[in-house]
Amino acid sequence: MTSTLEYMNKLGFTEQELASRRAYFQLADEDLARLAALRPFAERHNDAIVDAFYQELILKHSESRLFFTDQATLQRAITAQKRYFLELFSGAADLGYLENRLRVGTTHQRIGVAPKWYLGAYAHYLRLITERLLDEQGGSADTQAKVRSLQKIIFFDMAIAIETYIAAGLDALARHQAAIRELSTPVIQLYERVLLLPLIGTIDTARAVQVMESVLVRVVERQAKVIILDIAGVPVVDTRVANHLLQTTEAVRLLGASTVLTGISPQVAQTMVQLGVDLSKMHTRASLEEGLELALGLTGRCIRSKEG
C-alpha cells in the first residue's frame, strides 16, 4: 500500500508547489492568522457542528449510512472528524498540514467513500460553520473576512483531498489490473522442472508481454527444462499471436529450456501453414495429454500403465 509520504512525492507536493497552491487559492498569511484567531470559536462549537453534520447529512442517507454499521465505527468517525475540524483553525498550511490532508483522502478512498459524499461533506461543513459564525459574531466586515478565509482553507483542503483520492484510486486500479494479468497467465508446475501455461482468450501486445515475463520468471525460479504452452483456449491465432509465441520460445531457449506448444486445432494448424509460421524451434502436439508425455520424455520421465 502506498504511504502518505509516497503520495506527497507522487503528487509533487514540495515547498514550491505549496507556495504555488496557496497563491492560486489566495490563501495568505492573513487568512491563516484569522483562522488561528477563530480557534476558540471552533473549540466551543466543535461538538455541535460535527454532531449536526452526521445527523443531517450522513445518517439521513441510506448510502452513506452503510459506512457506519455499528456504534463503535460511528464514534471513531465522529472523533476523527472533530479532530479534522479543529485542524482547519490551526493557522498552518505547511507540508505537515498537506501530509495530514493527504491521509484523509487516502483513508476515504480505501473505505470506499464516493467523491459525491466527499464534496457534499465539505459544502455542508462550510454552511454549518458559516451559520454559527455569523450568528455569534454578526455580519460585520471583519466577520465577512473571516468567512472568506474559512472558504479559502476549505477549498484548499478539497483540492488536496480529491487529488489524493484520485491518485489512490488509480493505484488501486493498477493493483487490480496486475492481479487480473497474473490470473490470466497462471504458470503451473506439473512435475519437477515441467511447467504449464494454459492460455485463454485474446492475446494482445500487452498480454503477450505479460505472458513472456511470467514464463521467464517461472522458468528461472523453478529451474524448469520444459514449459508447455497450451493454446486450446485462444480463439484466433494470427501472425501477431504466432510471433509472440515464437519470441517467447526463443527467450525460453536462451534460458536452457524447451517449449511444447499444445492445443492446436485443425483450423489453427491450417492458419499457421497459410501464414508461413516457422515452428521448427518448438515442439508441437495436438493435445495437452500428448504434450505432457513429450515434456516428461524431455526430462527423462515417462508415463507407464499400472499393471494389475
DSSP string covering 27-58, please? Answer: --HHHHHHHHHTHHHHHHHHHHHHHHHIIIII
Across residues 272-276, what is the average pLDDT?
82
Report the candidate in 219, 283, 221, 211 with the shortest Cα–Cα distance to residue 248: 211
Domains and CATH numbers, the chain: 4-180 (1.10.490.10), 188-298 (3.30.750.24)
Name the DSSP class of 12. T
pLDDT exceeds cutoff 90 at 129: no
113's CB contacts (< 8 A; 6+ apart) are: 64, 67
Residues 282 and 259: beta-carbon distance below 8 Å: yes
248 residue type, one letter: T
pLDDT tens sequence across 4-63:
777 777 778 889 999 999 999 999 999 999 999 999 999 998 888 888 777 766 667 776
Read off the pLDDT of each residue in 241-259 and give the average, rounded to a whole number. Answer: 89
User: What rounded mean pLDDT belongs to the chain?
Assistant: 82
203 three-state secondary structure: coil
Question: Per-residue pLDDT tens for 146-172?
Answer: 999 999 999 998 888 778 777 776 676
215-249: per-residue pLDDT in tens?
A: 898 999 999 999 999 988 888 888 888 888 888 88
The pLDDT-based confidence of 72 (bands split at 50, 70, 90) is confident
pLDDT for the residue 179: 56
Distance, CA of 283 to CA of 287 (rounded, Å) = 12
Torsion angle, alpha carbons of 237, 239, 241, 244, to 10: 150
Tell me what pLDDT residue 266 has: 84
